[in-house]
Chains A and B, each alone.
Chain A
């Protein structure tokens, strides 16, 4: 059996186990509420957003609905994979797995792929539903490029949170630490990042929260590259010509690559040094 096939099979087992597990049953209603629910709400022709703004294109609706991904899907990714390694460590299975002649970096890759697929499959399914909802409500499909960016960037943000959670799981000696670390990272980037941005802006003498102040907008845009959620929104904004926060598309994609490569590399290193 080739190594690639081994990785694929191991990933498929994890995917199956998680996709049809109890946790997914709990999370599916949350995902349903956050993804198609938000697409339904933001595609209302009569919606007026704070500031008097009204979404005018299908991509704009999906951009606003992506809040559901940031708040719901990423949390589900963390809750699915926070014990990806620590559970096996606690049960003694990690020692059994590490004793098998499959390279540890391949085992790590299979873990990432398995857990990513288990969250990606329901999320992608619901995203297709979002596209249909927007089409029905607004009479407009997103273009192929927009759809591609929408799906790829969502896949990337879920990958990043899966990597964070698995990384935490390799470090944690018990489940509590693993979940605290995973949820903590999610909480920090989802809720506390705005505070970080505000503090940096305040320290830099930039007027905080002035949407029309170009200095504030530029600072917020730049700082968002340091947050996975920020990069996700930057990626989606590449398809919104009306939005310009002073960050070029290449910078956004470079940040996305960095957010992918660095945690992945860290996870591989952790797996290499892992002791049962």
Chain B
């Protein structure tokens, strides 16, 4: 793993919420936001920022894009030199693709990119290569009003790539994309990561990030609960080593698997057959089932979903988490270690 290029240390931004009083009708109080967050970004890595609605993903991305100011904390960079130096303007390094941009108007694709390029100081010749990269070269003279949702997303990423950013922030980039466009988008992101761009993708759809991200950050109630390489976080949160196996008919699994070191998570049976989810020595389980002539119809490792990630990281159950999402209260949270009780 290459060394980090950008480091956020103790950064915070809490939204100001109107709290009028008789004596001070314009008064505000600090509401939800991002609290005391530490995060490092690595070149060529794709970090999936995962959390439920209202967790603070967009706020964090806006902070990282230099749109929202840091109320506390510092940002250091090691992009241009070997030593860490404090970043004055994050926008120089970062390209940002907001969640939803309704590119509209009679302006053409090329013109809007030229305009944004001028704001960024990007040369005009860069526009052609970007249009080609995102597959909009044939549509460069199209008016924005005539673009489809997929093309708008492509334009958004082209706008984010102006000025050759070292860090690319993508806020819910798969929203509104059909499977074909999503696949093309995924490949584009991978190509950019291969070129050394550090990519951060926020999403509440973990399944869409599967196979794309190599790091994951779990965010909830404005706090980063855990962050690191995917496998490492899975192991830390005891979410790795889960498998599912299924087959037709009725089988006495307890008898079949007697003496095998495994832990049953869930066994479902119905008219069509059985479905077992477990952790433990998958190889032993598989060998035993085959040796007992049990017919299998599927066998696969289980990737955790968002709820499982968050439940594991917070030590809370899904009911509590969903209620917390609705709450604007900010309470300190921490990551629970493996085996630690809540």
The chain A residues found within 8 Å of chain B, CB to CB, are 1, 6, 9-10, 13, 17, 90-93, 95-102, 107, 275-276
Docked Cα-Cα span, A180 to B103, in Å, equals 25
- Measured between beta carbons, the chain B residues less than 8 angstroms from A102 are 119-120
Q: Say whether B94 faces chain A, with CB atoms less than 8 Å apart.
A: yes
Contact A95-B101, Cβ < 8 Å, known A6-B118, A100-B120: yes
- Of B62-70, B188-196, B240-248, B266-274, the stretch lying at the interface with chain A is B62-70
Interface of B is mostly: loop
- Measured between beta carbons, the chain A residues less than 8 angstroms from B235 are none
Instruction: Tell me if B121 and A99 are in contact (CB < 8 A).
Output: no
Instruction: Tell me if B91 and A100 are in contact (CB < 8 A).
Output: yes
A58: min CB distance to chain B, Å: 42
Interface of A is mostly: helix
A171: min CB distance to chain B, Å: 12
Instruction: Tell me if A97 and B62 are in contact (CB < 8 A).
Output: no
Interface string of B110-145 (1 = CB under 8 A from A): 000001101111000000000000000000000000
Q: Name the one of B96, B100, B102, B118 contacting A99, with C-beta atoms under 8 angstroms.
A: B96
Q: Say whether B206 faces chain A, with CB atoms less than 8 Å apart.
A: no
Contact A10-B118, Cβ < 8 Å, known A91-B102, A95-B101, A101-B163: yes
Contact A95-B120, Cβ < 8 Å, known A10-B115, A13-B115, A100-B91: no
User: What residue of chain B has the Cβ atom nearest to residue A100's Cβ?
Assistant: B119
Q: Name the one of A13, A17, A101, A275 contacting B120, with C-beta atoms under 8 angstroms.
A: A101
User: What residue of chain A has the Cβ atom nearest to residue B155's Cβ?
Assistant: A96
Instruction: Tell me if B101 and A92 are in contact (CB < 8 A).
Output: yes
Identify which of residues 156-189 in chain B touch chain A, using a CB-to-CB cut-off of 8 Å: 156, 159-160, 162-163
User: What residue of chain A has the Cβ atom nearest to residue B89's Cβ?
Assistant: A101
- Measured between beta carbons, the chain B residues less than 8 angstroms from A9 are 118
User: What residue of chain B has the Cβ atom nearest to residue A273's Cβ?
Assistant: B69
Contact A95-B121, Cβ < 8 Å, known A10-B115, A101-B163, A276-B62: no
What is the size, in residues, of chain B's interface with A at 8 Å between Cβ atoms? 31
User: What residue of chain B has the Cβ atom nearest to residue A6's Cβ?
Assistant: B118
Instruction: Tell me if A276 and B67 are in contact (CB < 8 A).
Output: yes
User: What residue of chain A has the Cβ atom nearest to residue B115's Cβ?
Assistant: A13
Q: Say whether B335 faces chain A, with CB atoms less than 8 Å apart.
A: no
- Measured between beta carbons, the chain B residues less than 8 angstroms from A99 are 65-67, 91, 94-96, 98, 160
Closest 4 interchain pairs by CB? Answer: A92-B101, A100-B119, A101-B91, A99-B96
B227: min CB distance to chain A, Å: 23
Pick 10 A–B contacts, CB within 8 A, sort by A: A91-B104, A93-B103, A95-B98, A96-B156, A99-B160, A100-B91, A100-B119, A101-B119, A275-B68, A276-B67
Docked Cα-Cα span, A1 to B162, in Å, equals 15
- Measured between beta carbons, the chain A residues less than 8 angstroms from B121 are 1, 6, 101
User: What residue of chain A has the Cβ atom nearest to residue B67's Cβ?
Assistant: A98
B210: min CB distance to chain A, Å: 27
A175: min CB distance to chain B, Å: 13
User: What residue of chain B has the Cβ atom nearest to residue A17's Cβ?
Assistant: B107
Docked Cα-Cα span, A276 to B159, in Å, equals 17
Q: Name the one of B105, B115, B118, B156 contacting A1, with C-beta atoms under 8 angstroms.
A: B118
- Measured between beta carbons, the chain A residues less than 8 angstroms from B89 are 101
B146: min CB distance to chain A, Å: 15
Q: Say whether B92 faces chain A, with CB atoms less than 8 Å apart.
A: yes
Instruction: Tell me if B68 and A10 are in contact (CB < 8 A).
Output: no
A253: min CB distance to chain B, Å: 33
Identify 15 new A-B residue pairs, CB closer than 8 A, beyond the known A92-B98, A100-B91. Answer: A6-B118, A10-B118, A17-B107, A91-B103, A92-B101, A95-B62, A95-B98, A95-B101, A96-B98, A97-B116, A99-B91, A99-B95, A101-B92, A101-B119, A276-B62
Docked Cα-Cα span, A10 to B105, in Å, equals 16
- Measured between beta carbons, the chain A residues less than 8 angstroms from B159 are 96
Instruction: Tell me if A276 and B104 are in contact (CB < 8 A).
Output: no
- Measured between beta carbons, the chain B residues less than 8 angstroms from A107 are 119
User: What residue of chain B has the Cβ atom nearest to residue A276's Cβ?
Assistant: B67
B32: min CB distance to chain A, Å: 14
User: What residue of chain B has the Cβ atom nearest to residue A21's Cβ?
Assistant: B106
- Measured between beta carbons, the chain B residues less than 8 angstroms from A92 are 98-102
- Measured between beta carbons, the chain A residues less than 8 angstroms from B94 are 99
Docked Cα-Cα span, A91 to B107, in Å, equals 14
Docked Cα-Cα span, A132 to B35, in Å, equals 65
Docked Cα-Cα span, A98 to B90, in Å, equals 12
